Amino acid sequence: MNKISPKDPRAHIKTDRFKACPECFRPKDDCICEKVVSLDNKLKVIILQHPQEQYKQLNSARLANMALLNSKLLVGLSWPNFKIVAGSEEQPSKWGILYLKGNSDKSKPCQVFGRNKKEMENPSELRGIIALDGSWKQAKTLWWRNPWFLKLNRITLNPEHPSLRSQTKSEGLATIEAIALALRCLGEKEEISVSLREQYERLIVKS
Ligand SMILES: [Zn+2]
């Protein structure tokens, strides 16, 4: 296994922005654009990326965004409201945000909690999910600066597989792994999460 440990020097390496491919943000001589497999996901995925993550060489959010046809990635620290991010036709009650904490019920791979803190009966009603890309501290900053996150349902994860890398982010998973798990829990086709994990391993972890 070519597993990335916290001591892996790549964990903090950033790509020189002038030498980066404008699509995948990897160094131009290591561009992965042609290798990404597109996936037709039904549940919309929006990734809010902390600016400091943008040029990290192990950035998995950009890959998730490139692979998932129904997704978008926004870089920034704050957005005025939910509709500016998700679209004027969307309702926050139909969206979930990946939450920092793990599951309370360890028998389930994921749980969705409504604004009333009760577990949602039918999480497959969700239309989209928001994932935050950044370290735990950066994600906390995003929560602090975007009070509208509180209007969303919260998705907590209980990863059954250890992360392909040991650098800890929210739930101990890379952003793309957290998205893969959440999509599977919320009723997307199994192939989509399998492919996301496979592409992450092949194009980023082992590259
Ligand atoms: Zn590229």
State in Å: Cα 58 to ligand 1 middle.
Answer: 14
Q: Which residues contact 24 (CB under 8 A, 6 or more apart)?
A: 31, 32, 33, 36, 62, 63, 66
Q: What percent of the chain has pLDDT over 70?
A: 87
What pLDDT was estimated at residue 148?
A: 97
The verdict on residue 8 lying in a domain is no
State in Å: Cα 42 to ligand 1 middle.
Answer: 25
State in Å: Cα 64 to ligand 1 middle.
Answer: 13
Q: What does the pLDDT look like over 23-38, one tens digit per residue?
A: 888 888 889 999 999 9
Q: Which residues contact 138 (CB under 8 A, 6 or more apart)?
A: 50, 52, 53, 132
State in Å: Cα 147 to ligand 1 middle.
Answer: 34
What pLDDT was estimated at residue 163?
A: 65
The verdict on residue 158 lying in a domain is yes
Instruction: Give the chain's residues under pLDDT 50.
Output: 1-7, 168-171
State in Å: Cα 35 to ligand 1 middle.
Answer: 9
Structural domain count of the chain: 1
What pLDDT was estimated at residue 161?
A: 62
State in Å: Cα 92 to ligand 1 middle.
Answer: 33
The verdict on residue 10 lying in a domain is no
The verdict on residue 15 lying in a domain is no
State in Å: Cα 109 to ligand 1 middle.
Answer: 33
The verdict on residue 106 lying in a domain is yes
What pLDDT was estimated at residue 57?
A: 75
What pLDDT was estimated at residue 171?
A: 47
Q: Which residue range(s) make up the domain with 62?
A: 21-205
pTM (predicted TM-score):
0.89
d(CA 95, CA 38) in angstroms, rounded, equals 23
State in Å: Cα 3 to ligand 1 middle.
Answer: 23
What pLDDT was estimated at residue 162?
A: 60
State in Å: Cα 2 to ligand 1 middle.
Answer: 22
Maximum distance among all Cα pairs of the chain, rounded to whole angstroms: 50
State in Å: Cα 123 to ligand 1 middle.
Answer: 35
The verdict on residue 109 lying in a domain is yes
The verdict on residue 1 lying in a domain is no
State in Å: Cα 82 to ligand 1 middle.
Answer: 30
State in Å: Cα 11 to ligand 1 middle.
Answer: 19
The verdict on residue 68 lying in a domain is yes
State in Å: Cα 19 to ligand 1 middle.
Answer: 11
